[in-house]
Structure 1
Amino acid sequence: MTDYLSAISTVGFPVVVTFYLLFRFEKKLSENTKVVNLLYELIKNSKRK
């Protein structure tokens, strides 16, 4: 908790929130990429049959 308060006081609240959101969005984007790739493979395999 002290690290968060130190970061906020050093760089400012908007910067800390931006980095937090970017980290969360990056995680979600990588999960979505995996699902899209899986769907692509399923569609590609279903067209072969």
Structure 2
Amino acid sequence: MENLVGLVGNLGFPIAISLYLLVRIEGKLESLTGSINNLSNVIKAMLKNN
């Protein structure tokens, strides 16, 4: 039982940090995806004009 408490204590912090970082990165990935889509649309518009 003591080992289980120690395991949860040692793994709880890294799991919490990992979840926090995943949430932060998700927002940045959505922003990056939007920027790539906008760039793709601009390139398509430029190619149509030529």
TM-score, L = length of structure 2 = 0.75
Task: Provide the rounded CA distance (Å) in 1 between the counterparts of 2:28 and 2:13.
Answer: 23
Identity of aligned residues (%): 38
Structure 1 runs (4+) greater than 2 angstroms displaced: none
RMSD: 1.2
TM-score where L is the length of structure 1: 0.77
Greater RCO structure (CA 8 Å; 6+ sep): 1
Structure-2 separation of matches of 1:48 and 1:31: 26
Computing the radius of gyration from Cα coordinates, the structure with the larger value is 2
